[in-house]
Amino acid sequence: MPHFTYPELPLDGLLRRAAARDPHAPALTTGRGTVTYGQLDAHADRIARFLARAVGRRGAVVGVANTLDPVFPAAYYGTSRSGNTVALINPLVNEHALHHVCAGAGVEIALVPAATGEQLMKMRDRLPLLHTIVVTDADDAVVPGDTVPLHVALDETPDEPYERDEPAAVDPSSVVCIQFTTGTTGRPKGVRLTHRNLVANATQTALAQGLGPGSVTLNHLPLFHVMHLNSAVCAGASQVLCHDPDPVASLALAAREGATHYYGLPARLHRLADDPRLTTACEGVPAGPRLTAVMSGGTALAPAAARRLRQALGVPVVQGYGLAELSPLSHMQRPADPAVRGAVGPPLPGTECRVVDLGSREPVAVWATGEVQVRGPQVMAGYLNDDEPSRIDADGWFSTGDAGWLDEDGRLFLVDRLGDVFKYDNELVSPTGVERIIAEDPRVAECVVVGWPDAVHGAVVWAGIVLRDPTGTARRAAYTGLDTLDTLDAVAEEANRRLAPFERIRRVEALDAVPRTPTGKPERQALRQKVRALAAAEAAA
């Protein structure tokens, strides 16, 4: 194992340490003002005291919605401080997914926005353990149903530091967080993460990204991701939370706030790269002179989009790789190093990576494709469901379910999810690889690829393409001003010149938009179901 040290702290100890170092340092900035580390730590104390009183014991599960708002970090660290376990709730999911998370994790108290509180009220009879719903964004006049506004819940809570009363220190190997996978390849699984997992990964990420007390990160994200939260708090950095969906507006905010690091989802970064205002919005570097890197995660960012952003902003555009099971980061391109096209970077400090043969499970040579395995202190404790195989072997190697290969310098190149790749004859087709080629065509706004069942070859490439209209924006599939079918055929023909025979597009369809999860990943499972139904109907005709 590569040498790497990290503090043996409980998860909330990251915040306590940052507040002790400089209580007046800015922790979070929003349109409503700035919250210092001392204020954030005090808010976490009040929530911890409320939870200790409301639950009456340690070890309960508290559902916390990861809204892009200062209340989330206070509730997240406050739950840890109270000796309870936080279950992350995505407030953008539908009612079925919300029930799956709360029932699966055994949520007893929920700290959520009003809209999510209303959903929980409707299903309360199906959540027998849930006894308290605290609304984090409503006052007494608009609080839904039998719920409690957060300020009322905290009214009787003393404004003083909360200290655990147990005689022994927190066990770093105890579970503190339950995070559910996105479910893009199946039913979302609850991932059990320990204090050690999250503190180690926060330290790893801060080191790899070059975060320190003088860093200012801008989060242009729909939700608050714990990776960005934990790494910034670990480093004592300041975070700016941007709610404006306009990507150019987010750059202007980055410039005003002196951002050093800009975090965005690939879908938003694609729109930013295509926006004609990018190079005309202001003079010099659009995101300000302190910016050192644009960082993308969640899914692959097309090389062409990364190149346009790099040229316009004059800073590296880097990507990382990880999974909920890895707390969540294991690899990242380094801002100080030249990015190698197609790589997601070397492992984080203290992380090992290897690629194994899909059949023998033995490690393969460099450049050879197989399943990616990772070992390090960020590997989860296991899944919430004991019947779910952990995919961690006796030596600590976690099988990621992703196909990829390593170069001689240890950089990881991803091929695709093993559940997403398909075979044409005996050749493995990577949807992401085909998408990269299609996306380089200037007539394409975005695209997605899955396998179309084929009786002869196993599967052939089906491509869903969102075309641009003459103004450069995405064109609706029903747009009649241009011959959509001819344009689609021309795009497919051009891409096929650059693709291997087994990768060539055999089916193409115009889309209004690529269906995506709330985190920006393509909904491949839903698309596969649609394509299989179309193929079955065609075969039966």
Most confidently predicted of 99-113, 258-272, 403-417: 99-113
Domains for the chain: give ranges and CATH numbers. Answer: 36-170 (3.40.50.980), 198-377+412-417 (3.40.50.12780), 422-540 (3.30.300.30)
* pLDDT surpassing 80 at residue 474: no
* pLDDT surpassing 60 at residue 475: no
Mean pLDDT of 411-422: 87
pLDDT of residue 62: 98
* pLDDT surpassing 90 at residue 118: yes
CA nearest 510: which of 448, 442, 426, 421? 448
Per residue in 318-336, pLDDT (tens digit) is 999 999 999 999 999 988 7
Give, in order, the Cα–Cα distances in Å from 358 to each of 176, 257, 399, 404.
Answer: 33, 48, 11, 11
Most confidently predicted of 204-208, 401-405, 515-519: 204-208
CB 416 within 8 A of CB 403: yes
Per residue in 376-385, pLDDT (tens digit) is 999 999 999 8
pLDDT of residue 309: 92
pTM metric for this prediction:
0.85
Per residue in 7-54, pLDDT (tens digit) is 999 999 999 999 999 999 999 999 999 999 999 999 999 999 999 999
pLDDT of residue 479: 45
Distance CA 8, CA 196 (A): 7
* pLDDT surpassing 90 at residue 463: yes
Q: Which residue has the higher pLDDT, 446 or 300?
A: 446
pLDDT tier at 481, thresholds 50, 70, 90: very low
The tally of CA atoms less than 13 A away on the side-chain side of residue 457 is 18
pLDDT tier at 124, thresholds 50, 70, 90: very high
pLDDT tier at 183, thresholds 50, 70, 90: low
Distance CA 22, CA 379 (A): 31
Distance CA 240, CA 85 (A): 27
pLDDT of residue 217: 98
Mean pLDDT of 480-489: 73
Q: Which residue has the tokens 């410039």?
A: 255
- Gyration radius of the chain over CA positions: 24
* pLDDT surpassing 80 at residue 117: yes
pLDDT of residue 200: 98
Q: Which residue has the higher pLDDT, 184 or 374?
A: 374
* pLDDT surpassing 70 at residue 1: no
Q: If you average pLDDT over every residue of the chain, what do you get?
A: 90
Mean pLDDT of 83-94: 94
Q: Which residue has the higher pLDDT, 428 or 538?
A: 538
∠ CA 257-260-265 to the nearest 5 degrees?
95
